[in-house]
Structure 1
């Protein structure tokens, strides 16, 4: 990223990987607001922001389906937890259908977090992990568990028909669940994961589709749909504009 925005990512331990994609922090060390473009990544973020005055705010972002311009305030620190979709039902216990491409504020003492938890990123990850562990229920719907295993293992590179057959769950029921719980169809979500997977190739300067895109034009159109620009422009600005693309190699 640019030399004013500092990013760090930590993977969750194996016992959390069904629900947590990772922990990340972002700090703007400049005295000026810094702009970047956040790209859809198929995750839900719980974020904690600490201003230069030490004030803490906590919020949650739903799924993103389009590029979003982000302005990071000067001397601001952000710690966040990126969640996989099952967390909405089994950790948070609420639907995020109304949070598509937007977020909402949560109480400033959510999960007993405090401003001083943002003093140490590793300690924050430990505290957050313990809290999430305590919230994981014993009973999880086996169909949903299998469905998400297939979706994430394939990086969205699987058809709804295949998912239905392997998860023993009808396409109609799966789509109803996705629309009611997450605010979009199952296919639309898989397309976001395919886009995210394609960024790994673009970050290396590979502009030809490695995944199951119909052809080069289809690949370019899908990338532009979710990022707002063509693959070559994503690559050319990977270090100073696009948050997800510029951090892929740091994970």
Structure 2
């Protein structure tokens, strides 16, 4: 049995006082680091909170900024939450490469926070190495669990295979806790270390995610900031898993 404690960055705030907004976007360090870099580029005023997961003690950041820190912002953390000021949106950022044995700790903390906050929709952005047995594979898909899709994108077939322990664990947990969730998935390849590039597909992944979220919800992004973020590489091997969606 393990315990995840939600600890705010402001000492005077009690963990139970913190609530996510009704719509939550989740980006993590996927195979292309596309989802996390896309959401780190949100260009709106934010309130910050770090999620302290004891199992991640000493974890290094997967993506780091290249320029100076804006005085209105805070440093990145391995797992961080942004509440967008004056908006009904929250953002959860898993900015560290997770070993498969650590995924359940982080997913548990995220799902617990979503359940406690009565989140109406969790939107997960994932660039995924996936085998799709389809004659006409699509550039992006959406699959919904406990919810209706918010786009008209096709769904990934249920017989598709993926290499993503975090996503597989998260899918199981949102099913059990009945968290309304939508997964935006872009089939992708491993990203190169450094800033986003055209030749590894990371620029296109970031641009696609940001355009879809902006069109659906009006959230503003700084594309250039996302492109300039330095991806420091993965620290763990993938585990092949079966992907089965509702």
Asked which structure has the greater RCO (Cα within 8 Å, sep 6+), the reply is: 2
Fold match (TM-score > 0.5): no
TM range (shorter): under 0.3
Normalising by the residue count of structure 2, what TM-score does the alignment of the two structures yield? Answer: 0.28
Larger Rg: 1
